[in-house]
Amino acid sequence: MYPQKKYNFRMKNNLLALCVFVSLSISAFAQTTNNPILTAVPSLSIAPDARAGGMGDIGAATTPDVNSQYWNPAKYVFMESEAGLSLSYTPWLRKLVSDIDLAYLSGYWKFEQHQALSASLRYFSLGNIELRDIQGTFMQNAHPNEYAVDVAYSRMLSDKLSASAALRFIYSDLTNGSGDVQMFPGVAVAADIAAYYKTSIPLQGVDGNLAFGLNISNIGSKISYDQNESSNFIPTNLRLGGSFDYPIDNYNKISVSADLNKLLVPTPKLNPTLQDIKAYNDMSPLTGIFTSFSDAPGGFAEEMQEIMWSIGVEYAYNNQFFVRGGYYNESQYKGNRKYFTAGAGFKLNVFQLDAAYVVSTSQSNPLDQTLRFSLSFDLFGLKNLVK
């Protein structure tokens, strides 16, 4: 289902409106009679920063950076600088519309050598939507939006292992308080649990770095748009990753990384009965997490289709110039996101600028030509610079 800029709304409970807005997600772009997993607040699943975006949306185990809050906040205690701040911007679905945007602000502070605090603010705007009644008569304009704010604490458990926990507040307003449409802003709370392991490996006179990462994100409450008459799952996600950095010499370094992702949300039945729908809606978030590993109608084969994978490469020269590439793959039966990514970055003293670009390999994919930009600052270095 592709997003449109005009929708017809009934004046009472309108589940169609909810489905249309909620499906404004890359996970909803099914091409045939597929069985994608749909969730509320799909904007939480959009990769926010340009560095990871240039490597195929990878970040569970890549070298730590200021945007690790989304990918794996346990990496912050391995940062060399004591504090950093980053602002990222994505003009979303530009092949279809011109006013859907994602803005992301993240930062961290290492207040001790082995401990760090971090936070982020995500704002997703669905632009201007014309609300019309069943006859097509214009009612008014709405400006739906979603945002999430989170804080995380990370701690080094040993010289090679760290862990982190995060808390998140989520707000989703799909009608922006417009007219008589009986939909209300949804609120949810969630938590993340993450771990990061990094070790050096001697190779022909140089030390490479091998890393593994785990992040279970958005473990929390369901969200309701009709004052708790019904509720929807948020995108709880399991991310596993590995990365290897190889310093070619004192100036050149190459990194190869890979991530696996699985939504920990129940799979809907293909032809559900009213009883199936009620059981799905009444299922608790915790039950949904455990159920998600074995509930696919197609059995083990379909469970494997629900695993998304991505690979990425980053080349760095003198830790100042960066070139990146990657590939992201999702089963055609679960959303059909298949695309290559390319990116570049430039670092000078206390700031870094990154950009990324998506080239879709599946036909009519609205993700094609998606751009991301990130501007990061080393706040500790900036402090020393102005002294």
Question: Does residue 202 fall inside a structural domain?
Answer: yes
* The pair of three-digit structure tokens given for residue 370, joined into one six-digit string: 């998606």
Closest to 306 (Cα-Cα) out of 282, 281, 335? 335
Question: Does residue 281 fall inside a structural domain?
Answer: yes
Cβ pair 60, 48 in contact under 8 A: no
pTM of the model: 0.87
Q: Are strands 307-317 and 138-142 parallel, antiparallel or unpaired?
A: unpaired
* pLDDT 10s digits, 230-246: 889 999 999 999 999 99
* pLDDT 10s digits, 331-347: 988 988 999 999 999 99
Question: Does residue 45 fall inside a structural domain?
Answer: yes
Q: What is the DSSP secondary structure assignment for residue 28, as one 8-state letter?
A: G
Return d(Cα 289, Cα 193) in angstroms, integer. 14
Looking at the chain, the whole-number percentage of residues with pLDDT higher than 90 is: 61
The pLDDT of residue 8 is above 70 = no
Please give, one letter per residue, the 3-state secondary structure of 9-22. Answer: CCCCCCHHHHHHHH
- Which helix (H) or strand (E) segment holds residue 300: the answer is helix 300-305
Which residues form the domain of 49?
6-386
Question: Does residue 358 fall inside a structural domain?
Answer: yes
Rounded to whole angstroms, what are the CA distances from 24 to 127, 289, 377?
12, 23, 32
Question: Does residue 96 fall inside a structural domain?
Answer: yes
Higher pLDDT pick, 34 / 356: 356
Closest to 46 (Cα-Cα) out of 107, 106, 98, 93? 93
Return d(Cα 244, Cα 204) in angstroms, integer. 15
> Domain of 45: which CATH number?
2.40.160.40
Question: Does residue 178 fall inside a structural domain?
Answer: yes
* pLDDT 10s digits, 197-231: 999 998 877 889 999 999 999 999 999 988 878 88
Question: Does residue 260 fall inside a structural domain?
Answer: yes
Question: Does residue 1 fall inside a structural domain?
Answer: no
What proportions of the chain, in percent to the nearest 5, are helix, strand and coil? 15, 45, 40
Domains contained in the chain, number: 1
- Which helix (H) or strand (E) segment holds residue 304: the answer is helix 300-305
* The pair of three-digit structure tokens given for residue 88, joined into one six-digit string: 């990222």
Closest to 213 (Cα-Cα) out of 164, 264, 247? 164
Rounded to whole angstroms, what are the CA distances from 80 to 66, 83, 315?
11, 9, 19
